[in-house]
Homo-oligomer: A and B are copies of this chain.
Amino acid sequence: MKNVRKTVAKTKILEFIQNSKAAVAHSDIQASLKGVCDRVTIYRVLERLLKEGLIHKIVDVDGVVKYAACHTCENKFHQHNHIHFSCEKCKKVTCLDTIMPVFNLPQNYILNSVNFTVSGFCPKCK
């Protein structure tokens, strides 16, 4: 059977993501965990954390891939249909968990997942 192992890298990376108020990029993790592990390891740990459903992946308006801890998801079949707010000044991406946009798709389109990112200024930067 395929086991999941608890390693230093995985623990530190997950901690870092969970302690961050905003979504973090690979480069943020790398900068924060300087020396703990290799670049490549970070990519692989992120992959695993995603698969285990402990974090989710967000692509911000600039195409930067970021990761955030899952707070509201009870199981690994989570949905992330809420809005992500991307501040143009401080560049922070925050999950606005409670907000769900309403819209209708044209006929014959089958919806699977949504990625809503709005940008502007966050309360701190406005």
Residues on A lying within 8 angstroms of B by beta carbon are 59-65, 83, 85, 88, 96, 99-123, 126
Contacts and interface: CB of A to CB of B under 8 A. Distances in A.
Nearest to A87: B109
This protein's copies in its complex: 2
30 contacts: A59-B59, A59-B60, A59-B62, A61-B115, A63-B64, A83-B103, A83-B105, A85-B105, A96-B105, A96-B106, A99-B104, A99-B106, A101-B102, A101-B116, A102-B102, A103-B116, A105-B118, A108-B122, A108-B123, A109-B120, A109-B121, A111-B118, A111-B119, A111-B120, A112-B119, A114-B118, A115-B115, A115-B117, A115-B118, A116-B117
Nearest to A113: B119
